[in-house]
Structure 1
């Protein structure tokens, strides 16, 4: 008897991975990517063999056509059959009340707001979501639904597992996909965060203005001073009328490199496989370091008069603040 057996499907040679397949290099290189994979493996369960085969599929580039939109992930995985398998992962979206409380909690912490606006994910951010009644990471099987068109009855099958690992690497590159998977885009979260922060920062100023207005209700408004420009000549055209205050500049190295590139994201016309931040970050970092060295009047390696003796390394001078007096 040929064809499908009672307990297994006939083994056929696997088709080669497609040219446009996504080859996973290493997933979980960031804390949020690692946390995502741990949550998925804990929630999905499944045997270690299928998970291992899923990682092999992900590294071989068998997952392709990955789309992430509003809590749902769709992809195709090329296996042994001519037609790729269709995979979908659906994560339960957080309701509006949870999002409102979470954004207020993030806005209340200046460090969280600064890191998010710089394109990074605060390490304890899920504490804010837990306090709001939700979580960025799936905690139960009811929050995560998976489907695959393959005949394997395993849950998860290797095709679903491969998609999870590819998704984990995508999260390493863009932590804001965590928000997308829970129902809010990066733009929606950052706009709401800026709005809450703006209202909170403007409130003290409004209260102070109202108090000053009440204090001067019966007082006469001060007169607007008149300005009489002096006689201008060619010699004193650009000379200040009085000494300018001293200017102080800081040239400390940034703690996070490429944050602005990650926040800007990829333009619509970008067609390269790697993100602009990955491509442009190294030359931008080198240029910024060269500019900082010039501003601090430090000699670079190429300008140094002599190299340090072999076996000894020159200590890098600490970053310092430069105070420059303006010309008078």
Structure 2
């Protein structure tokens, strides 16, 4: 992270610390997903010897002192109510990826069906970085110069507790909506998914177009196969003309478990720290795998013994 820019410090005024505003964002826990954790780790790598400021930043995040958070391509802004009557302004900037880089990353994503399935389920594929690596970049900030911070507080530390609070609140926002990471890098959820669909659909359309072309005949028109039905007796209508081919059925596990739960999100009044998909996902996965074992005769149903 590059050194923070600073505005003129606020004059310190005596008096109690202002309470958190009603619109403050109260973070419960940041980094509950692997992508949210990567974002939080990026902050903690910047201040390995300043656990105190990071702890105060977490306290600010939990008590709702961060508010007016906005995420735009390349830019995050927030206000943090600190010890002064006027909130401090925090700005985080990260480079937007250009069109050519996005095109390479999306082309790499389109080669993996699991990527599209995970993204449609509202999750970030664990190896998404491989797609961005192939485009010569990273989705997450890795070097100090990848992320620039600015805060209007007088603290010259980098990060200050207000920047840390914003970073933690943003990490929880990423946990809930991984597509904010894409938006921060210059693409919306709809743009990424539509681009992946278009890239994956192009080869299929080409194959269908090729398969639909008949072999040309002498007159230039495609040859059309003709079928002449033979004579059949009434008793033959219900009889097999030949033995049916053997059926080879394969039940593949889904690329993304609990996809529908992830898309629906938490219902109104949900108070658990973990989402419904996180709580119920392992149960759905176990049930799905057991059903597959039974269907493919890989195991027998367990009966209840008499006790």
TM-score of the two chains, using structure 1 as the length reference = 0.67
Counterparts of 1:62-81 in structure 2, within 5 Å, are 62-81=65-84
Q: Alignment partner of 2:29: what SS?
A: coil
The TM-score with structure 2 as length reference comes to 0.72
Equivalent residue, structure 2, for 1:221: 224
Deviation at 1:167, TM superposition (A): 0.6
Query: Once the 2 structures are TM-superposed, how far is the Cα of residue 207 of structure 1 from its aligned partner?
Result: 2.5
Match of 1:147 in 2: 150
**Gap change, CA 1:252 and 1:224, over 3 Å in 2:** closer
| Contact 2:117 2:256 (8 Å CA) reproduced | no
Task: Note closer, same or farther for the CA distance 1:272–1:263 as it changes in structure 2 (3 Å cut).
Answer: same
CA deviation after TM superposition for structure 1 residue 281, in Å: 9.5
Q: Give the corresponding residue for 1:163.
A: 166
State yes or no: 1:260 paired with 2:263. no
- CA separation in 2, counterparts of 1:271 and 1:73? 27
- Post-superposition Cα deviations, 1:70-91, rounded to whole Å, max 9, x if no partner, equal 1211111111111111111111
Q: Distance in 1 between matches of 2:178 and 2:47?
A: 21
Determine the C-alpha separation between the residues in 2 that align with 1:262 and 1:152.
40
Distance 1:47 1:281 in 2: 32
Partner of 1:302: none
8 A contact 1:116–1:122 mirrored in 2:
yes
Contact 2:25 2:65 in 1 (8 A): yes
Distance verdict in 2 for CA 1:273–1:79, change over 3 Å: farther
Which segments of 5 or more consecutive residues in structure 2 lack a partner in the other structure? 1-10, 229-236, 297-307
**Aligned-partner Cα distance in 2 for 1:204–1:220:** 19
The answer to whether residue 100 in structure 2 is matched with residue 97 in structure 1 is yes
Structure 1 unpaired stretches of 5+: 1-7, 226-240, 294-315, 323-328
User: 1:311 is matched with which residue?
Assistant: none
CA contact (8 A) 2:75 2:91 kept: yes
Quickly say closer, same or farther: Cα 1:255–1:190, change in 2 above 3 A.
Answer: closer
Range with greater deviation from structure 2 (79-88 or 181-190): 79-88
Q: 45, 50, 54: which is aligned to 1:51? A: 54
Structure 1 runs (4+) greater than 6 angstroms displaced = 8-11, 249-255, 270-274, 279-286, 316-319
**Which fold has the larger relative contact order, with Cα–Cα distance below 8 Å and residues 6 or more apart in sequence?**
2
